[in-house]
């Protein structure tokens, strides 16, 4: 392979990855063509991309991108997975597919520039999705405001309850209610 072709392949990998800082490295060895096609199709539906790598060229590109620690996983047939809605969704979907197909294996990966092993990928699958985390943060941010609104409405609700009780207690007899005695301060 000429140097020019290798440069084109490395440029294409850089362009495909763009600003991505989270990828998984897999080995699809043992999959038949139909299973691999179905895997790629299922992942494409979730905006997850797969790309077979030439390990020597991938080492150079990952080194330039600050993901040089991935080179220990670039042995033998290697496929790179990235994309999706976040790293948790990526790990969950890849892990689910690997369990269903039983043949491929997850070699490792990088999450925001930090190299992780296959066991840590499994830990990532237990994390909540990006949307769930955003919902939790919003709920925590809104909780004090909701409490303030509830406390502000409480006196008005109490006053309305007392007025209703007083109107029901008069039994429809207007003008017959006697004024309540004023409370005298102690010691007077």
Cβ 26 vs Cβ 110: under 8 Å:
no
Is residue 84 domain-shared with residue 154, that is, in the same domain? no
Is residue 105 domain-shared with residue 56, that is, in the same domain? yes
Predicted confidence band of residue 4 (pLDDT cuts 50, 70, 90):
very high
> Is residue 64, in this structure, part of any structural domain at all?
yes
Question: What's the domain range around 143?
Answer: 128-161
pTM higher than the cut 0.75: no
Residue 96: give its domain's CATH number: 3.30.70.1730
The Cα–Cα gap between 81 and 51 comes to: 7
pLDDT given at position 180: 53
Is residue 73 domain-shared with residue 110, that is, in the same domain? yes
The tally of domains found in the chain comes to: 2
Task: Please report, for residues 3, 66, 118, the alpha-carbon distance to residue 24 in angstroms, rounded to integers and kept in the order given.
Answer: 27, 15, 9
> Is residue 173, in this structure, part of any structural domain at all?
no
> Is residue 116, in this structure, part of any structural domain at all?
yes
Candidates 118, 52, 47; CA nearest to 86 is 47
Each residue of 24-44: pLDDT tens digit?
999 988 889 999 999 999 999
Each residue of 105-164: pLDDT tens digit?
889 889 888 888 888 888 887 777 777 778 888 888 877 877 777 767 777 777 777 778
Last residue of a domain, one of 127, 151, 177: 127
Each residue of 58-94: pLDDT tens digit?
999 998 888 888 889 999 889 999 988 888 888 889 8
Is residue 133 domain-shared with residue 66, that is, in the same domain? no
Predicted confidence band of residue 52 (pLDDT cuts 50, 70, 90):
very high
> Is residue 121, in this structure, part of any structural domain at all?
yes
Q: Is the Cα torsion angle 95, 99, 104, 108 positive or negative in sign? A: positive
pLDDT given at position 166: 81
Is residue 121 domain-shared with residue 139, that is, in the same domain? no
């Amino acid at each position: 392979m000429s140097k020019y072709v290798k440069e084109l392949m490395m440029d294409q990998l850089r362009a495909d990855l763009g600003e991505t800082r989270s990828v998984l490295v897999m080995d699809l060895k043992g999959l038949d063509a139909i299973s691999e096609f179905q895997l790629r199709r299922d992942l494409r539906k979730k905006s997850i991309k797969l790309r077979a790598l030439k390990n020597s060229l991938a080492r150079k590109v990952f080194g330039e991108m600050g993901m040089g620690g991935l080179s220990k996983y670039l042995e033998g047939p290697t496929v790179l997975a990235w994309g999706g809605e976040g790293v948790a969704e990526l790990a969950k979907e890849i892990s689910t597919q690997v369990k269903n197909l039983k043949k491929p294996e997850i070699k490792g990966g990088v999450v925001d520039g930090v190299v992780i092993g296959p066991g840590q990928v499994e830990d990532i699958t237990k994390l909540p999705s990006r949307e769930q985390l955003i919902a939790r943060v919003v709920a925590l941010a809104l909780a004090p405001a909701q409490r303030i609104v509830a406390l502000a409405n409480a006196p008005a609700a109490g006053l309305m309850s007392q007025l209703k009780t007083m109107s029901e207690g008069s039994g429809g007899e207007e003008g017959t209610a006697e004024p309540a005695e004023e409370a005298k301060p102690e010691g007077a």
